[in-house]
Amino acid sequence: MQSVQKDSKVSTHCSGKYLDWDKYRSKDVKLYVEGVHCTGCVGLLERLSIVQPAEVEQSTFNLPQSTLRLRLRPGAALSRIAGQIEEWGYVPHLIEEESDADRQAARENRARLIDIGVAGALAGNIMLMSIPLYSGVDGSLRTFFEALSLGLAVPAVFYSGRSFFKNVAAAWVNSTFSIDAPILLAILVAFFYSCVSVFRGTHELYFDSLSALIFLLLSSRYYLARLRRSSKLSLGVLDYFQAKGDRVVGDRYQPESGMKLSSDGVLRFGQIAVDFSHFSGESVPVWIKPGGEVYAGTQIIEASGDAVIEVTAVGDRTRMAQMLEKVREAQERRSDTQIQADRWAKSLLRAVTTVAFASLVYFAWRGHTAEGIRRVLALLIVTCPCALALATPLVFSRALQILIRQGLLVKDPIALDRGANVRKIFFDKTGTLTWGKLSVVGGLESADSETLRLLYSMVTRSRHPVSRAIEAAIVRIAEKDDRSPVRNPESWTEFREMPGLGLSAFRDGGEEFRLVRSEDNQTTFSEVVFQKGAVREELLRVRLQDQLRPKSAKIIRDLQINRYGTALVTGDHAWPAREVANQTGINFVYSQKTPEEKAEIVERGLMVGDGLNDALALSKARVSIAVQGGIDAAIQSAQVYSLKPGIETVPVFLSMSKLVRRTLKQNFIYSTAYNLIGATLSLSGFMSPLLAAVLMPMSATTVFVWTLARLREKNA
């Protein structure tokens, strides 16, 4: 890193890519910088103000978010700064200033932190004041400490505890029952009863219990909210595709090769080739003519010199942004277990509130009001069901967070519920178990370098998958022994693609070369023939095949060891399906199935397939994972989208579902037992409200810590 720092000079040459950033006229700029891992990198990026003092006034890096905040001097060219960052070996992305929602969230976060701080300070001091009271001071000192506790308890209840008032009031307006209602009831009863005690001198104070309760509740809720927020944020880099940049709707600009689009648009003039793979799953670049649409998040592979794109949507309005929004919305949906847990928690709450009122009335009637209040307070505090109500969403958000890090985007949390029960797994063949694209398996080894040179200069002119495969194979051969085939490409006088048939090219002297499909296509691979001259003299016969991904067989075997049933479902013919089944050891084969038949077969199992071609089967399956086909298609049909190609992520998902199921069950048993014992002890008078206030968050914390300890990456 040191040497890089010394060598680095102001870069002026490699900034062409970022030229259009210069239109960005803001003084404060935020960049997402890819590839920053270490301390040295941070130091380097924060040196920008020293390396380019004429342009950068300040640069501040935020390591967890990987963002660089720049304050520019007047007249600074952002392209030069970006060029410098790129020269250091990082990839800068321009991102929009924080949205209002982000800023609002940051403000709220601070406000809650302050609330917790205040509540903690008040609770701590009230507890100290209680020590002399418990140890039995009397006289004026007693009055002094009691008055002080009361003074400190007022802000604890009405300032720190205001969120409980708000929640209960909001639920009341919507005529529902807030889970905060019993807590608020306990706090208010404790507070007013203690106030009355102070004035009547009966020494029944609960200020310590209630302030501790408020502080511990606020802290555990803050922690939970933080965890949830971080699991949402980790949709990660995808967010940055939503970058608004500097364009507005109606702008026109000239696209360049390699440019990543940050807005939707329509091509007005010229031609461009676009890589839609991240978007639609289409792996071959698509040529677009004037009038065709392009989307944010896609990349331009090639652009003709006269190409012009008109912007049609930016920021939140782009299709990519709307897709990701849908994923977010879907993640908010609650699974069956979660709904059950909520229902259970709510009915428990109602029961507790009813029992509390009944006991209060009973004790008052019997003339033991003080004792009744003591027991009911303990009951309300100890059974506060936050343990279960809060831990269940935590389990899910933790699981989603871990899965995203492992490359799985879970759209519907219901998939995690059901994944634990799945016994049978159905795999699609093409693109799922195999690479989904042809590669050369034979025919080129024997060729001389002149033939290879001619073939190479021909296939490089075509974008057909077969041409791509042959080109890649020749490059591999050339790298191994002899560079000559890829040097001096033949300059054809005429070249054309014959759709559905092959390629044809003419050499200077009128000699024709053809690359055509083999007539006798009876084998498991496709064959093409390279021919020369009018007599079609055969120079080469190249065999191509869609090969199995290297890990497929091992993963299938592991799944079978774990007693999962495996099956192959494909629309393909029987023999290629058979062959793949033999190679991987899959038990059942369903071949030549229509999409409707596929959907029927997979109904009760887990379907792993292509978001585009298997959309129907994926949407009908009990659990579905799309392993390719782009996010767009996947979120329509599948519950889970794998950012990694191939079936690697399937076992990860399955073991995570089981882990989630087990953790939920343990949490449920624990909190039920805890609440039953706690309620019995409180009502029979063995538990003081203070002990309850301490126990309640301890039980919540136990469940939290337990959940977090269980749900870790290495356990999944």
Chain residues binding other proteins by CB under 8 A are 28, 39, 42-43, 46-47, 49-50, 58-65, 69, 71, 106, 110, 113-114, 117-118, 121, 124-125, 128-129, 137, 139-141, 144-145, 148
How many Cα atoms are found within 13 Å in the side-chain-facing hemisphere of 313? 14
> Whose Cβ is closer to other proteins: residue 69's or residue 424's?
69
- Angle between helix 369-382 and 181-200 (nearest 10): 150
635 neighbors 326 (Cβ within 8 angstroms): yes
Instruction: Write down the least CB distance from residue 113 to other proteins, Å.
Output: 5
Q: How far apart are CA 426 and CA 635, in angstroms?
A: 19
> Whose Cβ is closer to other proteins: residue 88's or residue 193's?
88
Q: How far apart are CA 392 and CA 339, in angstroms?
A: 10
Position of tokens 């103000």?
Answer: 49
Q: How far apart are CA 283 and CA 678, in angstroms?
A: 60
Instruction: Write down the least CB distance from residue 398 to other proteins, Å.
Output: 20
Instruction: Write down the least CB distance from residue 227 to other proteins, Å.
Output: 15
> Whose Cβ is closer to other proteins: residue 232's or residue 710's?
232
> Whose Cβ is closer to other proteins: residue 16's or residue 236's?
236
Instruction: Write down the least CB distance from residue 61 to other proteins, Å.
Output: 6
Instruction: Write down the least CB distance from residue 114 to other proteins, Å.
Output: 5
Instruction: Write down the least CB distance from residue 9 to other proteins, Å.
Output: 17
546 neighbors 438 (Cβ within 8 angstroms): yes
Instruction: Write down the least CB distance from residue 63 to other proteins, Å.
Output: 4
Instruction: Write down the least CB distance from residue 244 to other proteins, Å.
Output: 18
> Whose Cβ is closer to other proteins: residue 155's or residue 595's?
155
Residue 469 Cα to chain centre, angstroms: 33
Q: How far apart are CA 238 and CA 279, in angstroms?
A: 11
Q: How far apart are CA 370 and CA 689, in angstroms?
A: 12
Instruction: Write down the least CB distance from residue 65 to other proteins, Å.
Output: 8
Q: How far apart are CA 568 and CA 420, in angstroms?
A: 21
Position of tokens 């700064």?
Answer: 81
> Whose Cβ is closer to other proteins: residue 141's or residue 169's?
141
> Whose Cβ is closer to other proteins: residue 112's or residue 319's?
112
Instruction: Write down the least CB distance from residue 470 to other proteins, Å.
Output: 49
Q: For 447-585, where are the alpha helices, taking DSSP H only?
A: 449-459, 465-480, 552-561, 574-584
> Whose Cβ is closer to other proteins: residue 131's or residue 501's?
131
> Whose Cβ is closer to other proteins: residue 145's or residue 525's?
145
Are β-strands 640-642 and 623-628 bridged in parallel, bridged antiparallel, or unpaired?
parallel
Strand partners, 540: 530
Residue 277 Cα to chain centre, angstroms: 18
Q: How far apart are CA 424 and CA 603, in angstroms?
A: 10
Strand partners, 274: 286, 300
> Whose Cβ is closer to other proteins: residue 131's or residue 358's?
131
Residue 110 Cα to chain centre, angstroms: 25
Smallest CA-to-CA distance from 255 within 218, 217, 298, 309 is with 309
CB neighbourhood size of 479 (10 A) = 10
Instruction: Write down the least CB distance from residue 24 to other proteins, Å.
Output: 16
> Whose Cβ is closer to other proteins: residue 119's or residue 469's?
119
- Angle, CA of 609, 613 and 617, to the nearest 5°: 60
